[in-house]
Amino acid sequence: MTTPLLKVENLRIELTTRDGVAPVIDDLSFELGQNENISFVGESGCGKSMTALAIMGLLPEKIGRIASGSILFDGEDLTKASPARLRAIRGNEISMIFQEPMTSLNPVYTVGEQIAEVIREHQGLGRKAAWDMAADLLDAVRIPNARGRVSDYPFQMSGGQRQRVMIAMALACQPKILIADEPTTALDVTVQAQIFDLLRDLRKDTGTSIIMITHDMGAVAEMAERMIVMYAGRGAEIGPVEQIIEHARHPYTKGLTSCVPHIVSQLTEDRARLTEVPGIVPGLKDFGKNMCLFASRCNHRTEECLSARPPMKPFENGQIAACWHAEDV
């Protein structure tokens, strides 16, 4: 295997809140290959966005810090990089589509101005050249009549179009890694399908690696080769998507897949009751405890689960699961 483009090792991120210091990311390791697409899944509050922000060097100021571990990008440890260096990387080599598209565009500037601004800042192009490139990018993300719409304000566009503008901005610098945090959650499925197509083409044409964060297992199945299931700040399971969907090795992954009513190839009369995963994700103050944090919701739980954090168990097929009873799942 060639060296990965991104290698995150034993990453620990601490957040300081009123309740004290808690590891919002706790000993997380994963790799992203050249031209690979991986997905993060997990319920709300499990640390998916926080992982992305750590890679971008955008942890919440004063509250969040990298306590230990490393983030190797092209061999360079981003946890040790200067703010200036991080800013340069952020604009040029790693870019991100944020979770809330509506709030990430400035309402008082045209979309063209906003894209051109990014281009000028990072590629040192002149005003005219940057504007032309902005129009090209809008065209590339399939905004109809891009040359005409480049001077539209965000409110003049539909939700799907605004999201495509966000993608155009993220692509402005031809990044090596594109991080997309729930890029389609607020959009209609037909629009989502268009955005997914766009991301797929992008990867084919430019070789960009993609990290996609999502709640939707179907989206993972459609877009990614490997997935990382996060639970309470920890990696619960990592491995090839097809295999995990077929046979999850962590009870949480299994719960996530089976509690959702899926659309299948041929629908029949019978509708099984949905599997319930009782309870909810623990709050931040319980992160970091030396036990399996899923234990209170798990039907495989034994004494062992409550007394020590389960290690990452590798399986021969490449799946890795942090569960004491992974073999039995």
Partner 1 sequence: MADTPNTPLLTVDKLGVRFAVKRGGGWGKRAFLYAVDDVSFTVNRGETLAIVGESGSGKTTAALAVARLTAAYTGSVKLDGQELLGLEGEELRQARNKVQFIFQDPYSSLNPRQRAEDIVREPLVSLTDKSGAEQQQIIDRLFAEVGLRPEQKRLFPHQFSGGQRQRIGIARALATQPQLIICDEPVSALDVAVQAQILNLLRDLQSELGLTYLFISHDLGVVQHMCDSIAVMYMGRIVEHTDRLSLFNNPLHPYTKALLSAVPSVDKKRRAETKRILIPGDPPDPVNLPPGCRFANRCPAATDVCRQSEPPLTDHGGYHRVACHLVNDSKTAAI
Ligand X SMILES: Nc1ncnc2c1ncn2[C@@H]1O[C@H](COP(=O)(O)OP(=O)(O)OP(=O)(O)O)[C@@H](O)[C@H]1O
* Residue ranges in contact with ligand SF4 by CB under 6 A: 250-251, 292, 294-295, 298, 300-301, 305, 310, 323-325
With CB under 5 to 8 Å by kind, the binding choice for 24 among Mg ion, ligand X, ligand SF4, none is: ligand X
With CB under 5 to 8 Å by kind, the binding choice for 120 among Mg ion, ligand SF4, ligand X, none is: none
Tell me, residue by residue from 161 to 200, as one string, x for binding to ligand X by CB under 6 A and - for no binding.
----------------------------------------
Q: Which stretch binds partner 1 (CB under 8 A): 70-78, 277-285, 288-296, 302-310?
A: 277-285
The residue count for the chain:
329
With CB under 5 to 8 Å by kind, the binding choice for 292 among ligand SF4, Mg ion, partner 1, none is: ligand SF4
DSSP letter string over 20-45? EEEEEEEEEEEEE-TT-EEEEE-STT
> Which of 79/192 has CB closer to partner 1?
192
- Token digits of residue 108: 């008082």
With CB under 5 to 8 Å by kind, the binding choice for 103 among Mg ion, partner 1, ligand SF4, none is: none
What letter represents residue 53's amino acid?
L
302 binds ligand X (CB under 6 A): no
Distance CA 102, CA 155 (A): 9
Distance CA 257, CA 260 (A): 6
Among 5, 32, 41, 49, binds ligand X (CB under 6 A): 49
Among 96, 171, 219, 305, binds partner 1 (CB under 8 A): 219
88 φ, ψ (degrees, to nearest 5): -65, -45
Distance CA 150, CA 132 (A): 9
Q: Pairing state of beta strands 226-231 and 37-41?
A: parallel
> Which of 95/114 has CB closer to ligand X?
95
Distances (CA, A) of 125 to 33, 106, 149, 292: 30, 21, 21, 52
Q: Pairing state of beta strands 320-321 and 76-77?
A: unpaired
DSSP letter string over 80-121? G--HHHHHHHHHHTEEEE-S-HHHHS-TTS-HHHHHHHHHHH
Among 37, 49, 209, 214, binds Mg ion (CB under 5 A): 49
With CB under 5 to 8 Å by kind, the binding choice for 230 among partner 1, Mg ion, ligand SF4, none is: none
Give the footprint of partner 1 on this chain (CB under 8 A): 43-44, 142, 144, 158-161, 188-194, 196-197, 215-219, 221-223, 242, 245, 255-257, 259-269, 271, 273-278, 280-281, 297
